[in-house]
Amino acid sequence: MNGLHYVGSESGRRYEIEQSRWIGDGGELLDLCEFAKPLNREALTDRPKTMWRYQEVLPPLNAGPVSLGEGLTPLVPVSIDRPRLLAKVDYLMPTLSFKDRGAVMLAAVARALGAERLVADSSGNAGAAIAAYAARAGIRCEIFVPGATSRKKVAQIEAHGARVIIAGTREDAGAAARRAAVDGIFYASHVYNPFFFQGTKTYVFEIWEQLGGRLPDVLVLPVGNGTLVLGVHLGCQELLRFGLVDRIPRIVAVQAEACSPLTQAFQQRWPEAKPVRNLGTRAEGIAIAAPPRHKQILKAVRSMEGQIVAVPDEALEESQRALSQSGLYVEITSAVNYAVLRVHAHLFHESDVVVIPLCGAGLKSA
Ligand SMILES: *Cc1c(COP(=O)(O)O)cnc(C)c1O
């Protein structure tokens, strides 16, 4: 497909991009081959005001027809009195979460492969994003969600004409989607399909451009399945490789304490995470007990000299309220990105320019 192919994450083997291919032989994860070409800032002036302006580093897909104008979200100070603490307002995406960055890629790939049906599993936001872009692409869509998913997210998915199947835990939803992804049905997985990270990497290209060709000192990133962390890692590597930055930010990746397998592995210096039991958190968007890309996430955070930390649920409501009182209304999951500033204050210095992502809109979980 357009000169692209998948690469086995363990074997380095080449796999064709086909409708039924979502995992390698023997169960290895798939990455995408390298294809990005150098980009320069001057060339961006006349480009569309969407994430598609970084065309050199994006896969050569004809995504135009499925695009909803996603990307180039505002970067604004969290409050008037804290000019160095910036919020990237990704809840202003077409489906009100940052997942649109990756979902548009999956819909474009599915369309290029001639898929007529797709399935996906999600705690809610990825499902809503994939349902919207599948509708746009004219592809029938089924989304598997855990029982605890916010009713508003389920309603949003259904509004796009997708069928919602409620399936126990987040892990049950994943297993059910993979059983449903039989021949002829595209598995639009934001976790397994590496095209998704090609979309989420635009998050860091936008910040770089919005800061005048620079990256901040610290990037706070939520981490459940790691789609934003892995996208940011890819993006930072490309910015370095093309000489557009000379250093990358410190990463502070955040989990909810009640479901924090990556925090545990990071702190124990393990190369891989052990599955945990979700003890119950209101941060449903990051409550991933057994993230399939755990090894890659740990490696990526370590290679960026980052940290993975956890915040307790007790800190969430107050953080959500503090953001709201500054005019920024986020869903409760996104409150972790602000809570971490207080709970792990020692990771941040007074002089740091820090960017926190506001990943999902308040109305999704209210
Ligand atoms: C998906 C999501 C996340 C976390 O993304 P992962 O890819 O699971 O790491 C964080 N916040 C919100 C609101 C989300 O929807």
pLDDT (tens digit per residue) in 220-278: 999 999 999 999 999 999 999 999 999 999 999 999 999 999 999 999 999 999 999 99
The answer to whether residue 112 scores a pLDDT higher than 70 is: yes
Rounded to the nearest integer, the mean pLDDT of the chain is 96
pLDDT (tens digit per residue) in 30-73: 999 999 999 999 999 999 999 999 999 999 999 999 999 999 99
**pLDDT band at residue 158 under the 50/70/90 scheme:** very high
The answer to whether residue 143 scores a pLDDT higher than 80 is: yes
Three-state secondary structure of the chain: CCCCCEEECCCCCEECCCCCCCCCHHHCCEEECCCCCCCCHHHHCCCCCCHHHHHHHCCCCCCHHHCCCCCCCCEEECCCCCCCEEEECHHHCCCCECCHHHHHHHHHHHHHCCCCEEEEECCCHHHHHHHHHHHHHCCEEEEEECCCCCHHHHHHHHHCCCEEEECCCHHHHHHHHHHHCCCCCEECCCCCCCHHHHHHCHHHHHHHHHCCCCCCCEEEEECCCCHHHHHHHHHHHHHHHCCCCCCCCEEEEEEECCECHHHHHHHCCCCCCCCCCCCCCCCHHHCCCCCCCHHHHHHHHHHCCCEEEEECCHHHHHHHHHHHCCCCCECHHHHHHHHHHHHCHHHCCCCCCEEEECCEEHHHCC
Dist. CA 287 → ligand 1 center (Å): 9
**pLDDT band at residue 1 under the 50/70/90 scheme:** confident
**pLDDT band at residue 366 under the 50/70/90 scheme:** low
The answer to whether residue 216 scores a pLDDT higher than 70 is: yes
Dist. CA 185 → ligand 1 center (Å): 25
Dist. CA 224 → ligand 1 center (Å): 6
Report the Cα 207 to chain-centroid distance in Å: 15
Dist. CA 43 → ligand 1 center (Å): 31
**What's residue 365's pLDDT?**
81
Residue whose CA is at the smallest distance from ligand 1 atom 7: 227
Instruction: Write the burial class of residue 9 (CB in 10 Å: 0-12 exposed, 13-18 middle, 19+ buried).
Output: middle
**pLDDT band at residue 2 under the 50/70/90 scheme:** confident
Q: What is the mean pLDDT of residues 310-327?
A: 98
Dist. CA 45 → ligand 1 center (Å): 31
Of 88, 90, 97, 192, the residue with max ligand 1 atoms within 8 A of its CB, to mutate for a pocket test, comes to: 97
**Residues in contact with ligand 1 (CB, 6 Å cut-off):** 97, 99, 125-126, 222-228, 285-286, 288, 331, 333-334, 359-360
Contact 292, 191 (CB under 8 A): yes
pLDDT (tens digit per residue) in 226-235: 999 999 999 9
Residue whose CA is at the smallest distance from ligand 1 atom 1: 285
The answer to whether residue 183 scores a pLDDT higher than 90 is: no
Q: Which atom of ligand 1 approaches the CA of 200 most closely?
A: 7
